[in-house]
A = this chain, B = another copy of it.
Amino acid sequence: MLFKVEMTVNIPLDMPVETAAEIKAKEKAYSQQLQQEGKWRHIWRIAGLYSNVSIFDVKDAEELHNLLMALPLYPYMDINVDALCRHPSSIRNDDK
C-alpha cells in the first residue's frame, strides 16, 4: 500500500551542531536502508524548505507508523500522511 508522507524538520536552534550532524547522518542511513528495501519508494526535497515529499510502499498503516516512529529526526518533525491508491489514468503498472 502506498502513502504520501510530507515531513518538515524543525531542528531546535540551540541544538549543538555536532548533535544535529549525528542525527542527520543516522536519518540518512536509515532512509537509504528503507529505500533499498523498497519501502521508501521516493523522496524529494521541496525547493527552499527543510521539507520532503515521500512515497512509502508498506504492508499497511501499522508498518508505516512503525517506520516513521523510528526516524531519528521524528521528534523534530511535523508529519502529514495521505493514503494513496492507484489512479485510473496511470499507465505505470508498478505505481499501484
Contact = CB atoms under 8 A, between A and B. Distances in A.
What is the count of identical protomers in the complex? 10
Contact of A44 (B48, B64, B86, B91): B86
B61 A83 contact: yes
A73 B81 CA distance: 24
A48 B79 contact: yes
A21 interface: no
Given A42-B95, A90-B43, A81 B13 contact: no
Given A43-B89, A87-B52, A13 B13 contact: no
Contacts of A84: 44-47, 53, 61
A12 B89 CA distance: 21
A4 B44 contact: yes
Contacts of A44: 2, 4, 55, 84-87, 90, 95-96
A19 to B, nearest CB: 12
